[in-house]
Amino acid sequence: MSETATPWLLEVRHLRKSFPIRRGFSRRLVGEVRAVDDVSFTIREGETLGLVGESGCGKTTTARCILRAMTPTSGEMLFRAADGRIVDLSLLSRAELRPLRPQIQMIFQDPFGSLNPRMTIFDNVGEPLLVNGLRNRRARLERVAALLELTGLRAEYLHRFPHAFSGGQRQRIGIARALATEPRLVVADEPVSALDVSVQAQVLNLLLELQTRLSLTFLFVAHDLSVVKHISDRVAVMYVGQIVELATTEAIFRHPRHPYTAALMRAVPAPDPHTPSGDAALAGEVANPANPPPGCYFHPRCPFTTEVCRTERPFLRAIGAGHLVRCHRAEELALTGAC
Amino acid sequence: MTPPVLEVKDLRVHFLLDEGVVRAVDGVSFAVHPGQVVGIVGESGCGKTVTMKAILQIVEPPGRVVGGQILFRKDSAPPVDLTRLSPKGAAMRAIRGAEIALIPQEPMAAFSPVHTVGDQIIEALRLHERQWRPTGPRLSRHEAREMTVDLFRSVGISMPDQRVDAYSWQLSGGLRQRAMIAMALSCKPRLLIADEPTTAIDVTTQAQILNLLRDLQRRHGTAIVFITHDLGVIAQMARYVVVMYLGRVMEQGSVADIFHAPKHPYTRALLKSIPSLHVIPRTLLPTIAGSIPHPLGRPHGCPFHPRCPDAIPGVCTERVPALRPVGPQQLASCFLYHRDEAAER
């Protein structure tokens, strides 16, 4: 693969998002939750970057910042627009963002909450087209019908309402809506976690096929490692607002270099009674992002903690070609992956 | 072999709606032996949770148990058919919580937010005292509190004497589920029903909770019915597995048979369609065609036939297969294995 030759589509640099904690009658500031704490990564054109972590690790906040559903506290988000310009999404005003919005779209987690129940499928999927200037109803009908067929639904369903569809079908409708404006970057936030196993496989396959056909770029946010492994070219693992490891899917699953990544893989129960898993479960709980521990955020739960981990904060550094890790002891540890 | 603690025989739970009858559980049979972990696995709408509710007699109207038996056995006494007991009667209330305990899916919703978790466990201990301690003086509040602290310690809650006085919303997801397990175990139940106990929690915490349940099960020898949609969790927890689809048992057998020699086309397809950590990235997964039918639009004949790659025209479309042996300890309801006999209705 000519990975270095493909230009990047999105480059996130030192992204931070903190939420103030206010107490009392005067709402005085007593602290802050650092939900996203110095996150940097790039997404190349046509690739899928998986962003994985447990709840509260900041993966969804990162995704929302990129969509500018939230304004980041600091940092840059450079996006290569369709006309070749490079813009910093974090600096743009609402009006300046509007022409860019069709290029960055989102697939939501909940197929029940993300479609308007009072609108037909045609109106749900067609709304982004209408907003972006496709006023002609007949043209819109044709486009929506094509989108439905693209996502594996029959065009005669156009005038039905969302309640007539199953979870998997609704997720297909959500995907059709996200693709309506021909986006270049699609942010998918847990798109299959609300679906049943037999339907989950169908939607994952659909996303893989669509990516090849339409040369889409995905930021795929999920908590399920096996799903992330299945769909991603590269994977970033987050813990308490920071990326702790980033590498190609192959490298990270075969040779994880961060103890948290390795523990996350071991914790997934194997669907095979002869492969016992979970015996070396991580002790303790995820650190509080409002009051993170000194040194490495992971050190209270890490089985390899030494003195330096308790006092010094590790930086995200390269440990091999394109393999980044935030651990003082990454070189000496021999961790086992899941391959 | 010792007689089973729980025997569900041809259980039918129907929901009588204006639009029609939803047959949520439609002829389910399985048994749970003392000290055994039985896993019930299936996708949404398969009836696994309604089965659990029927066992505890907490099916909400318009749902009703319309047929079958749920035999619950205490020691050597003759079994009690739970479907015959009045859901609100004293006999059922003595069993519910004391003899059969539940670990629910969402511990946030299961605890009352206006009472401390300790108080809720103390209440259960004192309410069911005569079930778990038939003789002796009445349990004082103080004693019950001490027992609760011990229970908290045994499920791995740190600082148990302080956590007893916490409200459920002050605890993290993992701690809350541990407190729930402590509550379920408080009255030393004969049977524990765990309904998706780790679905709402993160994977590293899930590993801790599963280890805890496994350890407690080994120590106390409690029989567990473990309900989940996660095949990985089932493989790690259960010894015997019941696979359900649309209110019926498709296949049941030992965990090794179900995962390594599945007989029913549904079980096979389900196992193939899970993305695993052990497959090559970015390859298409084998899928099950179609989607789960609407509860009111149940297919005629075998419920799985419209999605089944091996459906036999004229057979599977017409008749409902019964659960029949396909191995020494394995049962499947499929005409591929007994085409000529065993049709239901």
Q: Is residue A148 part of a domain?
A: no
**Partner A contacted by B210 (CB < 8 A):** yes
If you measure CA to CA, which chain A residue comes closest to B158?
A: A284
Q: How far is CA A173 from CA A101, A119, A155, A167, A202, in A?
A: 19, 12, 11, 10, 14
Residue contact A198–B229, C-beta within 8 A:
no
Element (H, E) at A31: strand A28-44
Sort strands A217-222 and A323-325 into parallel, antiparallel or unpaired: unpaired
Note whether A153 and A169 are within 8 A (CB): yes
d(CA A259, CA A245) in angstroms, rounded, equals 10
Selected for mutation to probe chain B from A198, A239, A279 (highest B CB count within 10 Å) is A198
- The verdict on a CB contact (< 8 Å) between A201 and B286 is yes
Residues of A in contact with B44 (CB under 8 A): 167, 196
Q: Are B256 and A226 a contacting pair at CB < 8 A?
A: no
Residues in chain A closer than 8 A to B46 (CB atoms): none
Count of CB atoms situated within 10 Å of the CB of A20: 11
Task: Locate the DSSP E strands across chain A.
Answer: 8-23, 28-44, 48-52, 74-80, 86-88, 104-107, 185-189, 217-222, 234-239, 242-248, 317-320, 323-325
Q: How many residues does chain A have?
A: 339
Range of the domain at A288: 8-110+184-195+206-259+273-301+312-325
Closest Cα in chain A, distance from residue B340 (Å): 30
Task: Tell me, yes or no, if B41 comes closer than 8 A to chain A by beta carbon.
Answer: no
Instruction: Let me know if B195 is exposed, middle or buried by CB neighbors in 10 A (0-12, 13-18, 19+).
Output: buried
| Residue the block writes with tokens 């010894």 | B239
Question: Could you give the count of Cα atoms lying within 13 Å of A235 in the half-sphere of its Cβ?
Answer: 30
Of A224, A263, A271, the CB nearest to B259: A271
Cβ contact (<8 Å) for B291 and A268?
A: no
Which residues, listed in sequence order, are joined to residue B248 by a DSSP beta bridge? B245
- State whether ipTM is beyond 0.85: no
Residue A143 lies inside a defined structural domain of this protein: no
Distance from CA of A96 to the nearest CA of B (A): 36
From B174, B175, B210, residue closest to A278, measured CB to CB: B210
Could you tell me the two tokens for A95? 């009006």
pLDDT at A1: 44
B280–chain A Cβ distance below 8 A for any pair: no
Residue A107: strand, helix, or coil: strand
B171-B175-B181-B183 Cα dihedral, nearest 10 degrees: -30
β-sheet bridge partners, residue B35: none
| Residue contact B230–A269, C-beta within 8 A | yes
Instruction: State the Cα–Cα distance between residues B301 and B237, nearest whole angstrom.
Output: 33
CB contact under 8 A, B291 and A168: yes
Q: Is residue A161 part of a domain?
A: no
Q: Name the region of A16 (left: φ>0; alpha: ψ -120 to 50; beta: rest).
A: beta
For A219-253, letters b (16+ CB in 10 Å) and e give: bbbbbbbbbbbbbbbbbbbbbbbbbbbbbbbbbbb
Q: Please name the member of A198, A270, A283 whose beta carbon is closest to the beta carbon of B288.
A: A198
pTM of the shown model = 0.85
Instruction: Name chain A contacts of B203, Cβ cutoff 8 Å.
Output: 54, 223, 225, 264, 267-268
Closest CA to A65 of A32, A45, A36, A43: A36
A90: closest CA of chain B, how far (Å): 31
| Partner residue facing B235 (CB), from A166, A271, A338 | A271
Look at residue A214 and tell me if it is in a domain: yes
In a domain, A268, yes or no: no
- Give the whole-angstrom CA distance, residue B98 versus residue B101: 6
Buried b (16+ CB within 10 A) or exposed e, B291-302: bbbebeebeebb
Residue A97 lies in a domain: yes
Q: Count the domains in chain A.
A: 1
B229 to A197: CB separation less than 8 angstroms, yes or no:
yes
Between the CA of residue B36 and those of B83, B220, B236, what are the distances in Å? Answer: 23, 11, 14
CA distances to A228, B63, B207 from B226, in Å: 27, 22, 15
In a domain, A336, yes or no: no
Q: Record the tokens describing residue B76, joined without a space.
A: 């050597």
Fill in the amino acid letter for B332: A
Look at A270 and B236 and tell me if their CB atoms are within 8 Å: yes
The pLDDT tens digits along chain A (339 residues) read: 444 567 899 999 999 999 988 888 888 888 888 899 999 999 999 999 999 998 888 999 999 999 999 999 999 999 999 888 999 999 899 999 999 999 999 999 888 889 999 999 999 999 999 998 888 999 999 999 999 999 988 888 889 999 888 888 899 999 999 999 999 999 999 998 888 887 888 899 999 999 999 989 999 999 888 899 999 999 999 999 999 999 999 999 999 999 999 998 888 888 888 877 656 678 877 888 888 899 999 999 999 999 999 999 999 999 988 899 999 998 888 887 765
Q: Which one of A253, A273, A286 has the shortest CB-CB distance to B256?
A: A273
Give A55's contacts in chain B (Cβ within 8 Å): 202
**Contact at CB, A169 and B291, closer than 8 angstroms:** yes
Number of other residues whose CB lies within 10 A of the CB of residue A119: 14
Per-residue pLDDT of chain B (345 residues; tens, 9 = 90+): 688 999 999 999 999 988 889 999 999 999 999 989 999 998 888 898 899 999 999 998 889 999 999 999 987 788 899 999 988 988 898 888 888 999 988 777 889 999 999 999 999 888 888 777 777 788 888 888 999 998 898 888 888 888 899 998 888 888 888 899 999 988 888 899 999 888 777 888 888 888 888 888 888 889 999 999 889 899 999 999 999 999 999 999 999 999 999 999 999 998 988 877 777 778 888 888 877 888 888 888 899 999 998 888 888 888 899 999 998 989 999 999 876 665 554
Q: Residue A202 corresponds to which tokens in the numbers above?
A: 């169908």
Check residue A2 and give its pLDDT.
Answer: 44
Q: What is the CATH number of the domain that holds A87?
A: 3.40.50.300
Query: Is A144 contained in some domain?
Result: no
Of B202, B232, B282, Cβ closest to residue A269? B232
**Chain B residues close to A229, C-beta within 8 Å:** 275, 277, 279, 281
Q: How far is the C-alpha of A73 from the C-alpha of A36, rounded, in Å? A: 9
